[in-house]
Structure 1
Amino acid sequence: DLEPLIGYTRKTEHHNITRVDGVKGVEKYYNDILSAKQDGRLTGKRDIGFNIIANKAAAIQTRQDGFDVTLSIPLSLQRKIELELDEAKKRYKVREIIAGIMDSKTGKFLALATSNRFDPKHIQQKDYPHLNLNAIEYSYEPGSTIKPIIYAILLQKGMVNPSDVIELDNGYYKLKSYTIRDTHPLKSGSVEDIIVRSSNIGMVKISKDLKPNEYYTALHAFGFGELSGIDLPYEKTGLVPSPKTFQNEVYRASVSYGYGMRATFMQLMRSYAIFSNGGYLITPRISEYVTAPSGEKYVPKRFEPIAILSPQTTAQVHHTLIQVVKRVIKIAQVDGVITGGKTGTARIALNGRYDSKYNGSFFGFAQDDNNAYTIGVVAFESDIKDDYYGSRTAAPIFRRIVEILLDDGYLKPMQPQAEAQQAEQE
């Protein structure tokens, strides 16, 4: 359980003293406070039985233990999520599945799991690819999961209205020498329909007036191209194209539907939390508190949330993501709670060309009257016919995670009337 999140340690010898250092994960990030500060030592003259003589010449150096770190992740919940991912990996025959559950308001993780784990006490050569925590160390093109973020940026700038009708050219659109196609062709649709039906052509058209500097700055404001600040080591920043690159019309268009940029799982979790926490960019964390050898508990420093979206924009995107689930990704609906989110299915670039493998993902939220959780699932390198779409791999896992949160009491079933009222308000 909890690997590679916890990480592992390595013993080293220094002046005949064995030291233990964290190499990856929590063990590495908190290595300085987990490590003992001072070994216990008693020096002095010995008697004939080789015992130290307790006199003025004797010196005692007391042992100073390190701190303990308590994680925010309940082990029983983490284990249930891991077992779900194990079954899903067998079913879809993918390279890896990552899933996370984060409190949308506080950034506290309740689970951060992968299907690729290892035994830290018996690491074997076959485990080497699994030692990295890919939720933060691996970046990829996010595909359609980026669309709600672009939509939010455009709404916030007053550049679109959800009810505006856009011509969608029956799913076939030429941009210079490139052809953009939609999986589900439409003659036209509202701006909200473009998100709900996941129209690439629509995204290109509604975002075309975003200036290069605006595009670059807005994506960074949502946390892309930046460290999330989670208390784990070796986090990657992904890649946001430079303002100069954004001057290329075709490149700018491709980013609007999730190609030409790279994001980490953690960055997408952080950005989607904005839509169910009132519009704030929060800092994710996996530690609850640290305990000193004396027994005193300390809460690590937390960063203040940053207001990114207005309440009106946040409510609109929240409503649209609920519509995605109600109208298209119906498998992500769970009775008694409000769910919303967006799928993504992105082809994988290999040696400069797009391969036949895909990453299928679903990012969204589940909430009741009092709690809101951001939930993300990514299935990496699907290649089974008809089973690589995010709606067929990641979305069913999202549903199971929500059901587990209900079963374990993290979410409370809402009355149908209250559920309808809250969804209507959003």
Structure 2
Amino acid sequence: MKTSDRRTARRGAMEQAESGQAAPAMLWRYYAVAIMLVACFIVLVWRVIDLQVINHEFLRSQGDMRTVRVEPIQATRGKILDRNGEPLAVSAPVVTLWANPQEAQENDEGWRKLADLLGMQSDEMVKRLRRHKGKEFIYVQRQLSPETGRLAMDLKLQGLYAKREFKRYYPAGEVAAHIVGITDIDEKGQEGVELAFDQYLRGVNGSKKVLKDRRGYVIKDLSLLQDAQSGADLQLSIDLRLQYMAYRELKAAVEAHNAKSGSLVILDVRTGEVLAMVNQPSFNPNNRDSMNPSGLRNRAVTDLFEPGSTVKPLSIAAALKTGSFTTETRINTSPGFLRLNGQTIRDARDYGTLDLVSIITKSSNVGTSKVALKIGGEAVFETFYQAGFGQSSGIEFPGEAVGVLPNFTKWQPIRLATLSYGYGLSVTALQLAQSYMAIAADGVRRPVSLIRGGQQGVSPQQVMSPGISRHIREMLETVVLKGGTGTRAHVAEYRVAGKTGTTHKVGEHGYADDAYNAVFAGLAPVEKPRLAMAIVMNEPQGSEYYGGEVSAPVFARVVANALRLLNVAPDRAIPMVAGASGSDSKRNGG
């Protein structure tokens, strides 16, 4: 055999031996791979069974995390109504647009269209999205009308969302603004009744489960978790008819006399309810952009002033309560002035000897001072305090001022004298009206209330006897007749009573010679009083600035219209008698 053949035979034998050894190794690899595949398949099948059968809640919860959300249900704030059910504050549905800048596409032309729709600058919208790119939430615009919100969402912008809210609307506008107050953009009370009764009006929000798509739009309501509890409605004592009428008359008077401000309060003598409370300047609660901070204050409750001669009836009532004085008691006021502690108290002229009725009719400072000096400071203080001065009226209104009533133990004779005719103490228009309500209600002072039905569970106080109250009303009626200081308050159809007051305002260097408060407080009708009222005009300008000239005519117009609106029958009209013209109010603080 040749050498080459032998080599070929050996090579074949070697290859045959090697192939015999490789076959078992290849078979082992095959089985290993097969086992691994089977094991993986078993693991997968087990996992599927685990997720779909044993622990199927896991997948459902994960799916819900991506599609099911809990949405709040905003509670509707309660309505505020007047005593006759007329709305003073209601909540209207609105739409608020918000965006997720991380989802928004800045180059989308739709954002510019949205800006045009909302009256915004196109570039500013894009800049806002770019500036807040790292955030997931920004407001686009709040409290849009439902129609505008629908048009915005029709643009189908990536990252734009809408939610339903409520916006407070005030049908009476500036007429009732100081009483009703306002809420902030989230409907939380900020002023007035909205603030005082915020918890009562607010209600409790609810929640629900909803199904959303990948863009966050609600596809379906799934279940109610907690129903929203709407806020309770609140019915005020205000009569919107009287409120409109009083506001119109006060605004016209403030403009006619170029006064800085004015306030007017009407109280129901029978219940202590506030039937009207108006101020100038006012504000429109439906237009926040035009609000002036000086117009937000409810001056009838917060602003203090010296009441002047309007408190003289209380000083005379204090004298009658002592039993040492009667309506016929005569006081010598000559020579028309009184010197005390180096200071002079003056009347308009020398009235000579006056009885207590004439002291009120003529508004004699000297006569009132001599009466107060005889009865002492304690008697005057107690009557003033019982009438409501120096304490809360009971109205529970935010920011109410209690005024200043000095302690009688510190009064010198001049202090007692000036306080008896309205200097040295401070009150609000509401407190002054409340004191006249006590005179009208046979001496009973009731707490003032803005809620229909009056204050419950609060006992009224007897300030003076019914007999003294009737005497004071008869005295006050002479003020509006010929010879009195308030003839312009006379009403032909009704017997009315009241008192004028004109006080110098305090300036940088004491009492100013050219700045006054013109005041009138009164009640009607005299025989069976229904209304008590106080009017304050702050710094009227021009030739007329006395209470009898500025505020008394407002009282006449308002009280006549109010009694007609309340269907109070006209009583016996008292004709004007011959006598002085009432110009004594000038120079006399009346």
Q: Scaled by the length of structure 1, what TM-score is found? A: 0.87
Query: Are the counterparts in 2 of residues 143 and 259 from structure 1 also a CA contact under 8 Å?
Result: yes
Native 8 Å contact 2:440 2:529 kept in 1: no
Contact 2:314 2:383 in 1 (8 A): no
> Contact (CA 8 Å) 1:171, 1:201: kept in 2 or not?
yes
- Determine if contact 2:269/2:530 at 8 Å carries over to the other structure: yes
Write the distance in 2 (CA, Å) between the matches of 1:194 and 1:369: 22
Distance in 2 between residues matched to 1:300 and 1:374, nearest whole Å:
17
1:193 and 1:64, CA in 2 relative to 1: closer, same or farther beyond 3 A?
Answer: same
| CA deviation string 1:25-57 (max 9, x = no partner) | 111111110112x21211378798965684xxx
Once residues 7 and 45 of structure 1 are traced to their aligned partners in structure 2, the CA distance between those partners, rounded to angstroms, is: 39
CA distance in structure 2 between the partners assigned to 1:319 and 1:228 by the alignment:
26
- SS where residue 22 of structure 1 aligns? coil
Following superposition, the deviation at residue 365 of structure 1 comes to 0.7
State the secondary structure of the residue aligned to 1:79.
helix
Q: Aligned partner of 1:351: which letter?
A: E
Is 1:46–1:53's contact at 8 Å kept on the other side of the alignment?
no
Q: Using the alignment, how far apart are the partners of 1:256 and 1:123 within structure 2?
A: 44
- Aligned to 2:464, which of 303, 309, 330? 309
> Residues 306-385 of structure 1: matches in 2 within 5 Å?
306-327=461-482, 328=484, 329-355=486-512, 356-367=514-525, 372-385=530-543
Q: Which residue of 167, 172, 177 corresponds with 1:3?
A: 177
Deviations 1:315-351 (A, max 9, x none): 1111111111123122222122110010000000123
How far 1:167 sits from its partner (Å)?
A: 1.2
Aligned equivalent of 2:431, options 264, 267, 274? 267
Partner of 2:136: none
Distance 2:239 2:195 in 1: 21
Alpha-carbon offset, residue 77 of structure 1: 2.3
- CA distance in structure 1 between the partners assigned to 2:218 and 2:330 by the alignment: 91
Going from structure 1 to structure 2, the CA distance change for 1:304 and 1:53 (only over 3 Å counts) comes to closer
1:61-80 to structure 2, matched below 5 A, reads 61-80=226-245
Greater displacement, 364-373 / 310-319: 364-373
Match of 2:276 among 92, 101, 111: 111
Secondary structure of 2:358's partner? helix
Q: Structure 1 residues 178 and 47 mapped into 2: Cα distance closer, same or farther (>3 Å)?
A: closer
Partner of 1:89: 254
Q: Output the CA distance in 2 between the equivalents of 1:323 and 1:193.
A: 8
1:397 and 2:564 aligned: no
Q: Cα 1:250–1:371, aligned 2, differ >3 Å: closer, same or farther? A: closer
Deviation string, structure 1 residues 113-143 (Cα, Å, up to 9, x no partner): 1231101132357621111101110111110
CA positional deviation for 1:215:
3.3
Tell whether the 8 Å contact from 1:368 to 1:411 is kept in structure 2 after alignment.
Answer: no
Total equivalences in the alignment: 395
**Which stretches in structure 2 are left out of the alignment for 5+ residues?**
1-174, 575-590
Matched-pair contact (CA < 8 Å) for 1:77–1:110 = yes
Q: 2:363, 2:243 → 1: CA distance?
A: 32
Which aligned pairs between 1:253-264 and structure 2 lie closer than 5 A? Answer: 253-264=417-428
Tell me the SS of whatever aligns to 1:173. Answer: strand
State the one-letter code of the partner of 2:493.
Answer: G
Is the alpha carbon distance of 1:233 and 1:161 closer, same or farther for their aligned partners in structure 2, counting shifts above 3 Å?
A: same
| Cα distance change, pair 302–102 in 1 and its aligned pair in 2 (3 A) | farther
| Partners of 1:59 and 1:325 in 2: CA distance | 66
What's the secondary structure of 2:292's corresponding residue?
helix
Structure 2 match to 1:144: 309
Asked whether the equivalents of residues 206 and 228 of structure 2 are also in contact (C-alpha less than 8 Å), the reply is yes
1:226-237 matches, cutoff 5 A: 226-237=391-402
**Residue 153 of structure 1: CA displacement?**
1.2
Secondary structure class of the residue paired with 2:400: coil
Map Cα deviations across residues 75-110 of structure 1 (whole Å, 9 max, x no partner): 232112111112111111101121122111211122
C-alpha contact 1:272 1:374 (8 A) present in aligned 2: yes
Is residue 350 of structure 2 the alignment partner of residue 185 of structure 1?
yes
* 1:392 counterpart SS class: helix
1:41 to 196, 200, 207: 207
Percent identity between matched residues is 28
Aligned equivalents of 1:399, 1:239: Cα separation in 2:
29
What is the alpha-carbon distance in structure 2 between the residues aligned to residue 203 and residue 347 of structure 1? 18
SS in 2 for 1:99: strand
Cα distance change of structure 1 residues 126 and 413 upon mapping to structure 2, 3 Å threshold:
same
- Mapped to 1, the partners of 2:255 and 2:501 lie a distance apart of 21
Q: Structure 1 pair 372/53, CA: closer, same or farther in 2 (3 Å)?
A: closer
Instruction: Give the whole-Å Cα distance in 1 for the aligned partners of 2:563 and 2:408.
Output: 44
1:170 is displaced (CA, Å) by 2.7
Equivalent-residue separation in structure 1 for 2:310 and 2:528 (angstroms) = 26
Aligned residue type for 2:560: E
The answer to whether the 8 A contact 1:184-1:199 is kept is no
Q: Report matched runs for 1:404-423 at 5 Å.
A: 404-415=561-572
Contact 1:170-1:188 at 8 Å conserved across structures: no
Shift of 1:402: 2.0
**Compared CA separation, residues 66 and 306, structure 1 to 2 (3 A):** same
Which residue does the alignment assign to 1:424?
none
Contact 1:39 1:63 in 2 (8 A): yes
- Rate the CA distance shift 1:190–1:34 in 2: closer, same or farther, 3 A: same
The 1-side partners of 2:329 and 2:221 are apart by: 89
Higher helix share: 2
CA distance in 2, matches of 1:152, 1:383: 34
Alignment deviations for residues 228-247 of structure 1 (CA, whole Å, 9 cap, x no partner): 0114211111000123322x
Question: What residue is the counterpart of 1:99 in the other structure?
Answer: 264
Contact 1:184 1:197 in 2 (8 A): no
Letter in 2 for 1:116: P
Cα distance between partner residues in 2 of 1:382 and 1:50: 61
| 1:286 CA displacement | 1.9
Write out per-residue CA displacement over residues 276-320 of structure 1, whole angstroms, 9 at most, x where no aligned residue.
Answer: 11110011112227xxxxxxxxx8635232112112111111111
1:163 Cα deviation after fit = 1.1
Deviations 1:47-75 (A, max 9, x none): 98965684xxx661110111111122222
Alpha-carbon distance in structure 2 between the residues aligned to 1:262 and 1:81:
24
Q: Distance in 2 between matches of 1:53 and 1:134?
A: 49
Cα distance in 1 for partners of 2:211, 2:279 equals 55
**What SS does structure 2 have at the residue aligned with 1:239?**
coil
SS at match of 1:97: strand
**1:210 equivalent in structure 2:** 375
| Offset of residue 185 of structure 1 | 2.8
Partner of 2:441: 277
| Aligned CA distance change for structure 1 residues 371 and 64 (closer, same or farther; 3 Å) | same
For each residue in 1:159-179, what CA deviation from the matched residue of structure 2 results, as whole angstroms up to 9, or x when unmatched?
322211211123122113101
Q: 1:25 aligns with which of 192, 197, 204?
A: 192
